[in-house]
Amino acid sequence: MKSGVFIMMVCLALIKCMPIRVTTEKIEGATFLGYETYNFYDVEFQRYDSLPYTRENMDFLLKEIREQMLIKGFDLSENPDLLLNVGVVVKQQEQTRETDPRFDMNYIGQRTYHWERKEIVTGTYEEGAITIDFVDAENNRMIWQGTAVGILTNDLEKMRKRASYAIEKIFSKMPLY
């Protein structure tokens, strides 16, 4: 029993240790003081031909954001002070390595031989980014933005845990003043 709990703790730690980069941007002079309610802009899909990025997963992200907003003391409202714009981007990335003359002999030329350095693709992966824009509903002006970027996995459960952790990291950097 104790070993099962230990293994579960190690797995959760490894999921959270995977690198997720979070960046934020606060608009000069903007503050969260005076805002009590929020709602979301309507979500539109531009492209969702990849199976893991369906409406169901977007609903999961919105649920996670609602939970974090509740923790921060904001209430969901039909007449909000803040509007949240949620954007998700998924890009196919290539992992490369540089050729090495010790292992990758690639001579060019007939009499003037030389070695040429190249980038070799060693694998591909998907990188996902979630951006949350906080917009003043009255002025339609952005006051704060948080973005998390990380590598996606094909395992839906792991991807959701990482997404939840990424949203948690975004909100941990949100100023409340």
Write the DSSP string, 59-76: HHHHHHHHHHHHHTT-EE
Segments making up each domain of the chain, as ranges: 19-172
The tens digit of pLDDT for each residue in 45-82 reads 665 555 455 778 888 999 999 999 999 999 999 999 99
User: CB–CB of 145/131 below 8 Å?
Assistant: yes
Average pLDDT, the chain: 80
Question: What average pLDDT score do residues 39-43 get?
Answer: 86
The tens digit of pLDDT for each residue in 124-168 reads 888 889 999 999 999 999 999 999 999 888 888 998 999 999 999
Cα–Cα distance measured from residue 61 to residue 55, given in angstroms and rounded to the nearest whole number: 10
DSSP for 129-144?
A: EEEEEEEETTTTEEEE
* The pLDDT of residue 98: 75
Closest CA to 58 of 41, 72, 79, 81: 41
Higher pLDDT, 51 or 44: 44
- Give the phi and the psi of residue 135 in degrees, each rounded to 5: -120, 130
Q: Does residue 99 have a pLDDT over 80?
A: no
Higher pLDDT, 111 or 26: 26
* The pLDDT of residue 10: 39
Say if domain 19-172 classifies as CATH 3.40.640.10.
no
Whether the full predicted model's pTM is greater than 0.75, yes or no, is: no
